[in-house]
Amino acid sequence: MSRRNPRAAARPLPTPPSRPPAAAPTVAAIQQAWAHFGKGELGQAQSLGRAILAQEAEHPGALTLLGILMAQASRPEEAADLLGRAAARLPQEPAAHNNHGNALRDLGRHLSALGCYERALALKPDYSEAYFNRGLTLQELGRYDEALASYDRALAVNPSYVAAWDNRGTALRALDRLKDALASHDRAISLKPNHAAAHNNRGVVLQELGSTEAALASFERALAIQPDDAEALNNRGAALHDLERFESALLSYDQALAARPLHADTLNNRGVTLHALERFDEALESYTRALALKPNFAAAHSNRGVTLTSLKRFDEALASHRQAVAIAPRGARAHLNLGVTYHQLGRHRDALASYERALAIEPNADGYRNEGETLEALGRHADAAASYRQALSLEPTARFLAGICRQARMQICDWADLDTELACIAMAIERGEPAATPFSMLSLLDSPPLQRRAAQIWVREECTPRRGMPPLAPYPQHDRIRVGYFSADFRNHALAALAAELFEKHDRSRFEITAFSLGPDVRDEFRMRAEAAFDRFLPVGGLPDHEVAALARRLEIDIAIDLGGYTRHARPRIMALRAAPIQASWLGYLGTMGADFIDYLLADPVIVPAESRQHYTERIAYLPSYQPNDSLRVIAQKSFTRSELGLPPQGFVFCCFNASYKITPETFGSWMRVLAATPGSVLLLLGDSPGAERNLRRHAADRGIGSERLVFAPKLPFGEYLARYRAADLFLDTSPYNAGTTASDALWAGLPVLTCPGKAFASRVAASVLTSAGLPELIAADRLAYERRAIALATDPTLLAEIRRKVTQARATAPLFDTVAFTGNLESLYARMYRRHRSGLPATHLLADGTEAAGAAADGMQVQT
């Protein structure tokens, strides 16, 4: 986005002839006219000049005087005519040609102006002013090397020529010789410390060098000399914006507009700052004013599109972006912004095409990063990883990019340099740097403290609205507790496999439940089921965050349940705006939100034991068991043959249908040791990534296991996917990101699941599921026990048969699949939250036995129970 408009230094006034000739009768009159001019008595000077021309129509001195006066009065056509006539009468006078050149340049007739300067210099080779003006004209033509040479010639004649030093700096800046430019501006300032334009131009160079604080100081110095300098005020606004001092930047832009009201660049910059302040409607108004002055202002059209995208007004945003591209087809940023809007609309192929055009014009980290996100959305994980790596090569410290790139590489099981990269990410997060997204941390590092720190960094960087909402006024007590579920996944999704029946079982006499659907407006099976389940189903994906939060407030939602956290398409900023007096995180995101706007995290004692509460910023609201299930889900009647699934006729079948990014070298190493100890066995995995398949087969071969022992299964319709579990003998879990929904799916289909819990939330979910299913013997104490247990189950048919019998029995008797009881426990928890809030008490840890934990602030102090 264009945010500054640095200028060339102010040029000297056109020079009067060194010896203004005149006929004898008018000598006194022309001398008197020049005397008035020198005193600033311009009206008197003009009157005398016109009187002289009335007597002698082509008097060169009067023509020169009046031409200069017309130039000062911004009447360039008259100035050029008068000064041209003067030069014609004074063909041997260098100053006359120089002045004529200045007037022609003011008219935009640059090539003709250059001819005038050349004539002046032919007559006077040491004419520094003509060299300077020639340089300025060449600079305006974009011929910066020639301009620089002309300034250097002026300075060879006059080393103390302040304006030449200053404008030389602007030419060097245009040639990207920033350090040389800074030295040139500094020389101008050393010669004339109160040269406002030189301080301003010095600030522009410093800002481009990344020294924004020093740039700001230069702009302030320029304004101390010339307080109403609109250009310096505009540039100061840009520096303050870059320093994220947005309110101060806005004030500076407003001061610039007071001095120069009709300036499109400043109005555009003001819009950018208003956007940063999330004052989107005002930003649009500022862009509209800029475009009224400058209809073909590509940057303003593009920036307007960015703001419209933030307001979810996508059709208008596309129109603005397309107009920007039409005006400036070589504008990389316009193509990039167009791609972002396409991406948010789910038009990923159009987004990709826009990013590719942007990168062809100007390779940059933002373009490659956005390209990577779109490639991931298209399932092209290997290409996405390549794009992210390109972005990192251009900007190694880009926010969150190291973790995003590593996560993309995990999608294809590319483990090269994994330990080194994880160590760097961990150290960066410990330093408070935005190195990885909270979601990527769940699968990369089993460290509750680091996961908490990463979440807090994300909140600081991404979830702190600049335009807040007023504090919530107390609601009246409602006859039914009003619960709002916020999710982008009210569709055929893992969420549906767990929570569909729960929504249907809520006690409507005690609870009013509302769905805030943040995702695409799909019409699939679960969406139809969800719409029928809720008292109110609100498709609000097209509304900006503050409007969704405002709607929840108008509906007086008592408890807001965020089902997305920091997963893809989730919108935690709605919670940051405080959509409800009680806000809790559950189910979609398996970790702490690291945010003071989330009061409770729903868990169970297996997932968050008492000694681990210090790693969570929320109060823990304990359920007897964490994960709900849909007891109405139907397993297809289809019975897969081993050949249909690509399995050998005989041999034990291990399986894992977790996403490939959850497979770490440590987990895979355990699996390969288990396969080595169980001859004839195979491992059935989810086959949704050709890159992952290739790499896993290679990793197996590196560990001495034939690649044919890895079998990859395609995605299937949900019922058939569940039926396929019956072809396997044992589900092997991943760590540190466990099976959650897939663990319940396997158990529902009668397949035992073996897990090895870690320390963090995501690494203990499968243990929670197995505890709720009454299968503690499938929870290994450590990795060695995990491997031994897998081998024992594969080699002892009696032991396996007993476990399978217990799994089958759990479907009918275990709490894991008792949705009615689960819903009752959840509702009791909601009622306890509500009662506590109505009593004016802050959130506290709510234990599963109905009691409350003593003490402990939500900042992570150890809790004594």
One DSSP character per residue, 37-94 reads HHTT-HHHHHHHHHHHHHHSTT-HHHHHHHHHHHHHTT-HHHHHHHHHHHHHH-TT-H
**From CA 479, how far away is CA 641, in angstroms rounded?**
55
User: What is the Cα–Cα distance from 757 to 849, expressed in whole angstroms?
Assistant: 24
Which 3 state secondary structure label does DSSP give 845? coil
Cβ–Cβ under 8 Å, residues 422 and 409: no
What is the domain class of 475-631+818-865 according to CATH? alpha beta
Q: What is the pLDDT of residue 39?
A: 81
Query: How far, in Å, are 67, 134, 468, 709 from residue 617 at the CA level?
Result: 74, 66, 21, 44
When the candidates are 1.25.40.10, 2.30.110.10, 1.10.357.20, 1.10.3720.10, the CATH number that belongs to 24-225 is: 1.25.40.10
Identify the pLDDT of residue 572.
97
Which residue, among 797, 636, 768, 762, has the nearest Cα to 753 in the 3D structure?
Answer: 768
Q: Indicate where the chain has its CATH 3.40.50.11380 domain(s).
A: 475-631+818-865
The pLDDT assigned to 62 comes to 82
Q: Which residues pair with 584 in a beta bridge?
A: 561, 600
- Return the pLDDT at 26: 67
pLDDT at site 525: 87
pLDDT score, position 58: 86
Q: CB-based contacts of 238: which residues, under 8 Å, 6+ apart?
A: 3, 4, 207, 249, 269
**Residue 459 and residue 471: Cα distance in Å, rounded?**
19
Distance CA 425, CA 441 (A): 9
Q: What count of other Cβ atoms lies within 10 Å of the Cβ of residue 393?
A: 11
Decide: helix, strand or coil at residue 400.
Answer: coil
Edge to edge, the sheet with strand 600-603 lists 536-539, 511-517, 481-487, 559-562, 582-585, 600-603, 619-622
Strand partners, 537: 515
Answer for the pair 615, 759: CB distance below 8 angstroms, yes or no: no
| CA angle 338–344–349, rounded 5-degree value | 65
What CATH fold (topology level) applies to the domain 653-817? Rossmann fold (3.40.50)
Q: What are the residues whose beta carbons fall under 8 Å from the beta carbon of 785, sequence distance 6 or more? A: 756
pLDDT at 7: 35
Residue showing tokens 């006690």: 507
Q: What is the mean pLDDT of each run of 10 residues along the chain (865 residues)?
A: 35 39 60 80 80 82 84 85 88 92 92 94 95 95 96 97 96 96 97 96 96 97 97 97 97 98 97 97 98 97 98 97 98 97 96 98 97 96 97 97 97 97 98 98 98 98 91 95 96 87 97 95 88 96 96 98 95 97 97 98 98 98 97 92 95 97 98 98 94 97 97 94 97 98 97 98 98 98 98 98 97 96 98 97 95 60 29
| Crossing angle of the two packed helices 314-327 and 298-310, in degrees rounded to 10 | 160
Give the predicted TM-score (pTM) of the model: 0.88
Q: Answer for the pair 299, 280: CB distance below 8 angstroms, yes or no.
A: no
Please write down the long-range contacts of 365-373, taking CB distance under 8 Å and 24 or more positions apart.
365/391, 365/392, 365/394, 365/395, 365/398, 365/401, 366/336, 366/391, 367/332, 367/336, 367/391, 368/394, 369/398, 369/401, 369/404, 370/336, 370/339, 370/340, 370/343, 372/404, 372/405, 372/408, 373/343
Of all helices (H) and strands (E), which one includes residue 511? strand 511-517
| Helix (H/G/I), strand (E/B), else coil: 710 | strand
C-beta of residue 64 within 8 angstroms of C-beta of residue 27 = no
**What does the pLDDT read at residue 409?**
97
**Contact call for residues 602 and 829 (beta carbons, < 8 A):** yes
- Comparing CA positions, the residue from 366, 397, 363, 4 lying closest to residue 212 is 4
Crossing angle for the helix pair 60-72 and 76-89, to the nearest 10 degrees? 160
Burial class (CB in 10 A: 0-12, 13-18, 19+), 534: buried
Strands (E), 580-646: 582-585, 600-603, 619-622
Distance, in Å, from the CA atom of 148 to the CA atom of 175, rounded to the nearest integer, reads: 10
- Predicted confidence at residue 4, as pLDDT, reads 36
* Start-end of CATH 1.25.40.10 domains in the chain: 24-225, 280-462
Measured CA to CA in angstroms, residue 682 lies from 643, 648, 700, 731, 785 at distances of 13, 8, 12, 12, 20
Indicate the CATH number for domain 280-462: 1.25.40.10
Please tell me the distance from the alpha carbon of residue 24 to that of residue 628, in angstroms, as a whole number.
108
Predicted local confidence at residue 13, as pLDDT: 34
Cα 338 to the chain's mean position, in Å? 15
Looking at the chain, the domain(s) classified CATH 3.40.50.2000 span 653-817
